[in-house]
Structure 1
Amino acid sequence: MRESFTETDFRIYWSKYAQKLGDSGQKIAESLLLMNEPRLEGTQVFVTFPNEGSKLDFEKEIPALLGYLRGHLKNHDIDIEVAVNENAKPKRYITPQDKYNRLVEINPLLDKLRRTFDLELD
């Protein structure tokens, strides 16, 4: 199977998988997926961690993550490459506005929904 997919689709399923982990009580694995932005080049996913321990913990999750992504995106060419950059700072979303902005990056229709129902961020 080799269907094409968009970066938005990829990011949506990456976030859904992280949420699935969090919902099942695997908070550390969830935070590893959300720690830094994965970089997508074609079907190759590049993930960088600030230390070797995070990298090792993440690598344990790769088989299940690949199965999830390959199945939902219908593309078995997807692969993940993991690296360590001790100078990398994890991206954190502190305020509700930061979190909202990140979600709009993943799915731009969220902003249309907010405007349609005249919702505010608190």
Structure 2
Amino acid sequence: MEKKKADGFIIPPNYFYGRTFEIEVKAPEVLIPPLNIPAVAVPETVVETPKTALPKVEMPVGSDIKVSALSLSSIRAKRELEQTTKATVKEAAQLPTEPFSETDMMLQWNKYAQRLSDKGHKIMESLMLINDPKLNGATIIHELPNEGSKIDFESEKHELLGYLRGKLHNHDIMIEIVVNETMDTRKAFTTQDKFNRLNEINPNLDLLRRTFDLDI
């Protein structure tokens, strides 16, 4: 008797109970063609540091500040200090200190007083002509009657001192004011009085006036 073939076979679910299955799934291989990208040179970025000028250091002559020899600014400071010292020494050496007499001093003293008169500075002019100054070495000693007149004279003394140093070619000249309340003042107010005082200092002035027939 011929067996009939089953049309289909169904596995019951209890067949799979208690069994483990491993399923290996392989990912499909994907072939990526190589990309021929040319190499691009990246330029190097150069950062320039801004140059800062070093400040000049002015140091007075005779300064005892210690300067480091390892610092650039210290080297510059040393050079500037040496140049300043040389310039100062050179300038001091070139200042004239020519000798002069009391007569020379009095002539320039009265010339300056006349300049003050021409400019209308009557107070300083009268203080200069109130008495004849005396010369002690390079120091001009001028007597005034009180402290008030001394203060007025001192306030304008520096211009007179510069004038005398330049005209007499001696930068050692100093002016010393002495207050003498008992002094006998002699004031020259007229042109003749001024000429007489100058003639007392230098009698050749009268000879010069008579020779050239000059007016006073």
TM-score with structure 1 setting the length? 0.85
- In 2, the alpha carbon distance for the partners of 1:79 and 1:29 equals 18
- Indicate whether 1:64 and 2:159 are aligned: yes
For residue 5 of structure 1, give the secondary structure of its aligned residue in structure 2: coil
Give the number of equivalent residue pairs.
121
Q: Is the alpha carbon distance of 1:2 and 1:96 closer, same or farther for their aligned partners in structure 2, counting shifts above 3 Å?
A: closer
- In 2, the alpha carbon distance for the partners of 1:66 and 1:14 equals 10
Q: Percent sequence identity over matched residues?
A: 58
- Indicate whether 1:51 and 2:125 are aligned: no
For residue 82 of structure 1, give the secondary structure of its aligned residue in structure 2: strand
1:13-36 residue CA offsets vs partner (Å, 9 max, x unmatched): 100111111111101111110011
Larger helix proportion of the pair: 1
Report the AA paired with residue 24 of structure 1.
Answer: K
- In 1, the alpha carbon distance for the partners of 2:163 and 2:147 equals 24
Question: How many Å apart are 1:113 and its aligned residue?
Answer: 2.5
Q: Which residue of 1 aligns with 2:173?
A: 78
- Indicate whether 1:15 and 2:72 are aligned: no
For residue 10 of structure 1, give the secondary structure of its aligned residue in structure 2: helix
Check the 8 A contact 2:131/2:186 in 1, yes or no.
Answer: yes
1:27 corresponds, among 90, 101, 122, to: 122
1:91 corresponds, among 178, 186, 190, to: 186
- In 2, the alpha carbon distance for the partners of 1:59 and 1:107 equals 28
Larger strand proportion of the pair: 1
1:15-64 residue CA offsets vs partner (Å, 9 max, x unmatched): 01111111111011111100111011111111111111111101111111
Check the 8 A contact 2:126/2:187 in 1, yes or no.
Answer: no
For residue 47 of structure 1, give the secondary structure of its aligned residue in structure 2: strand
- In 2, the alpha carbon distance for the partners of 1:46 and 1:100 equals 22
For residue 65 of structure 1, give the secondary structure of its aligned residue in structure 2: helix
For residue 87 of structure 1, give the secondary structure of its aligned residue in structure 2: coil
Report the AA paired with residue 12 of structure 1.
Answer: L
- 5+ residue gaps, structure 1, are none
Question: How many Å apart are 1:5 and its aligned residue?
Answer: 1.2
For residue 102 of structure 1, give the secondary structure of its aligned residue in structure 2: helix
Q: Which residue of 1 aligns with 2:207?
A: 112
Structure with the larger RCO, 1 or 2 (CA within 8 Å, 6+ apart): 1
For residue 17 of structure 1, give the secondary structure of its aligned residue in structure 2: helix
Higher-Rg structure is 2
Q: Which residue of 1 aligns with 2:22?
A: none
Q: Is the alpha carbon distance of 1:95 and 1:59 closer, same or farther for their aligned partners in structure 2, counting shifts above 3 Å?
A: closer
Question: How many Å apart are 1:78 and its aligned residue?
Answer: 0.3
Structure 1 consecutive aligned stretches of length 4 or more whose deviation exceeds 2 Å: 92-101, 113-121
